[in-house]
């Protein structure tokens, strides 16, 4: 039995963070002396635009559905053509408002960050509990007594 979690929407917090970093980079470039801006102007602005465009593209083409399995497996895009099952690595991190899910796929490490504002509150709590208790179990990483499982911050009861 598995629970399907729909990643409802892109995170507003993530959008603000990415936009803020790009704005800070643009502002720091504007504060450089005129000679430096004149020489490096187009390449720097082009790189900033490409970086921002790449971030927008990655967010639109990201994973939108997860199925949490009892054995600790994580099914990505269940019911769709790209469906695949992976297992979380112990380097995954669970915090109160953000999760970093890390898994191995085709010989490389893949990470996915999820913010609380992407999911319904009930789905968010279910995903947090699963990641702490079931996720690491597949790779033999059992939660220590009195601890939260993978790297985590205890959330209020």
Query: Does residue 126 sit in the same domain as residue 53?
Result: no
Query: Does residue 76 sit in the same domain as residue 144?
Result: yes
Query: Does residue 72 sit in the same domain as residue 42?
Result: no
Query: Does residue 55 sit in the same domain as residue 73?
Result: no
Query: Does residue 91 sit in the same domain as residue 110?
Result: yes
Q: Is residue 131 part of a domain?
A: yes
Query: Does residue 26 sit in the same domain as residue 48?
Result: yes
Query: Does residue 33 sit in the same domain as residue 103?
Result: no
The number of domains in the chain is: 2
Model confidence pLDDT, tens digit, residues 114-156: 999 888 899 999 999 988 887 665 555 444 454 444 544 444 4
Query: Does residue 16 sit in the same domain as residue 74?
Result: no
Residues 121/73/156/116 CA torsion (nearest 10 deg): -40
What is the share, in percent, of the chain residues with pLDDT greater than 70? Answer: 81
Query: Does residue 101 sit in the same domain as residue 35?
Result: no
Helices (H), 84-139: 121-133
The model's pTM is: 0.67
Q: Is the pLDDT of residue 112 over 70?
A: yes
Upper half-sphere CA count for residue 52 (Cβ side, 13 Å): 17
Domain range holding 17?
A: 12-60
User: Would you say 19 and 78 are in contact if contact means Cβ atoms under 8 Å apart?
Assistant: no
In angstroms, rounded to a whole number, what is the distance separating the alpha carbons of residues 48 and 45? 5
């Amino acid at each position: 039995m598995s629970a399907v979690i729909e990643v409802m929407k892109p995170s507003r917090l993530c959008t603000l963070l990415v936009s803020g970093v790009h704005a800070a980079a643009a502002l720091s470039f504007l504060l450089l002396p005129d000679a430096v801006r004149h020489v490096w102007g187009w390449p720097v602005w082009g790189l900033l635009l490409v970086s921002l465009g790449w971030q927008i593209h990655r967010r639109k083409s990201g994973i939108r559905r997860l199925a949490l399995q009892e054995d600790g497996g994580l099914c990505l895009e269940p019911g769709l053509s790209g469906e695949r099952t992976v297992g979380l690595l112990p380097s995954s991190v669970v915090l109160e408002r953000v999760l970093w899910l890390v898994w191995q796929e085709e010989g490389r490490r893949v990470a996915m960050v999820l913010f609380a504002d992407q999911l319904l509150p009930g789905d968010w709590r279910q995903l947090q509990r699963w990641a702490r208790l079931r996720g690491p179990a597949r790779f033999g990483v059992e939660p220590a007594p009195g601890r939260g499982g993978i790297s985590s911050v205890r959330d209020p009861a």
